[in-house]
Amino acid sequence: MDIDVLGALAVRENGISITPTAPKPRQVLALLALHADQVVPVSALIEELWAGEPPRSARTTLQTYVLQLRALIATALERGAAEGAEGGRNPGAEAGAGPGAGVRTAKDILVTLPGGYLLSSGGGVLDVREFDRLAGSGYRAMDAGDFPAAARLLREALALWSGPAFADVQSGVQLDMEARRLEETRLCALDQRIEADLRLGRHRELLAELTVLASRYRTHENLHGQFMLALHRSGRRGEALDVYQRLRGTLVRELGLEPSVALRRLQRSILMAGPESLSEPGVEPGGERLVRV
């Protein structure tokens, strides 16, 4: 089973979509897919569907949604088996079943367990797991000072995103929380990828991207600091200082906060020094890393 949640929801068994169009079953599948191969408690699914005000029939209705999902899975399995027979393939072996284990059924894939349900991926590709793997490798490359590898790995990780997580799912409490968590992991990877590119001297290449990001994340200090550095190193010191002033105005007006000490130090460094003095992008002369608000 292949699962995509970093954008539109897409769940495929044997290459055939099992993603329902009805909003509630779609929510159930999204939460199960994100936590594939783990038990999702019934309580979490009910909270997702009815936000703390479940009807008396909540458990029965949830079971109905599970049956609808199993029907879609069964259809995909039947089609896959038919295509496999035509091509002389063994669908059970391809699904990871051992000799004599037989072909997986819908109940083997969407499993009922004490207290909840589990969606078995059968060793398929999950975009969120692939993102975590690539991003983790990128972070380790950053720590080792291998900036070319870090930039490449983090760029590959970010390329897995086609839009906001669960972009086409009507989300409730649980999915909203998970979407925010996933967005934070994306921003962390983006921050580190830009950091790696800055350390590789790609400041001019970053300007267009950082222009968009600074506009989208209007109170994100680290992205603004990186934008200031890229502008400064491109010989555009005045524009770098303008970025600081716009950010400060937004922080004061919307949050009642002044920019962080690290960002104020960066502003002073740009005011006082030439581009050649800021030899370590993203780090202030005192060694303090710019932080995210």
Q: Report the CATH number that the domain containing residue 74 is assigned in CATH.
A: 1.10.10.10
The verdict on 12 and 110 lying in the same domain is yes
Q: In total, how many domains does the chain have? A: 2
Q: Does 9 map to a domain?
A: yes
Summarize the confidence of residues 178-193 as an average pLDDT.
Answer: 96
Q: Please state, in angstroms and rounded to a whole number, the distance separating the CA atoms of residues 74 and 82.
A: 12
Q: Does 145 map to a domain?
A: no
Phi-psi region of 201 (alpha: psi -120 to 50; beta: other; left: phi over 0): left
The verdict on 9 and 113 lying in the same domain is yes
**pLDDT band of 88, cuts 50, 70, 90:** low
Print the domain residue range for 248: 201-293
Among 66, 88, 119, the domain-final residue is 119
Q: Does 190 map to a domain?
A: no
Q: Please state, in angstroms and rounded to a whole number, the distance separating the CA atoms of residues 156 and 138.
A: 9
Q: Is the pLDDT of residue 44 over 60?
A: yes
- Range from 14-28, 123-137, 196-210, 277-291 carrying the lowest mean pLDDT: 277-291
Q: Rounding to the nearest 10 degrees, give the CA dihedral for residues 102, 104, 107, 108.
A: 100
Q: Does 218 map to a domain?
A: yes
Q: Does 275 map to a domain?
A: yes
Q: What is the pLDDT of residue 277?
A: 47
Q: Please state, in angstroms and rounded to a whole number, the distance separating the CA atoms of residues 39 and 159.
A: 29
Q: Does 161 map to a domain?
A: no
Q: Is the pLDDT of residue 252 over 70?
A: yes
Q: What is the pLDDT of residue 14?
A: 86
List the CATH number of the domain containing 249: 1.25.40.10
Query: What percentage of the chain reaches a pLDDT higher than 70?
Result: 86
The length of the chain is 293
Number of CB atoms found within 10 A of residue 179's CB: 19
Q: Does 192 map to a domain?
A: no
Among 85, 119, 153, the domain-final residue is 119
Among 119, 141, 158, the domain-final residue is 119
The verdict on 11 and 102 lying in the same domain is yes
Q: Does 97 map to a domain?
A: yes
Q: What is the pLDDT of residue 255?
A: 94
pTM of the model: 0.84
Q: What is the pLDDT of residue 84?
A: 62
